Amino acid sequence: MAGSGILYEVNVTLAPDIREAYAKWLGAHVDEMLSIDGFIGASVYVDTEDDCKMTAHYILRDQAALDSYLAEHAPHMREDGVKHFGDKFKATRRVMQTLG
């Protein structure tokens, strides 16, 4: 059914000198994301051609869960990355829903 699942994707490009520390931090960050109501799964991927590029896929129950996350949790979660790594990474995000 269309709209029954939401994929929240975060793509990051890292400065090489933070790659290891970021990967370690990301594990705890993903765990924290999964503790937020509505998040039901996550996977993290590393680009096979550039290990300073990573993608996190978060699966959410529905659009309402995403809306709640964006309003109540996203600012803090995003600030945490900046607090740890400053301007040594760039993040982009997109949202997708299931088709058919």
Residue-wise pLDDT tens digits, 14-69: 999 999 999 999 999 999 999 999 999 999 999 999 999 999 999 999 999 999 99
Which value, to the nearest 10 degrees, does the dihedral of the CA atoms of residues 13, 17, 20, 24 take?
-70
Structural domains in the chain, sorted by start:
6-97 (3.30.70.100)
Q: What is the pLDDT of residues 74-91, one digit of tens each?
A: 999 999 999 999 999 999
pLDDT for the residue 2: 47
pLDDT at 99: 84
Q: Give 42: exposed, middle or buried? Use CB within 10 Å, 0-12, 13-18, 19+.
A: middle
Q: What is the pTM of this model?
A: 0.91
Q: What pLDDT does residue 4 have?
A: 65
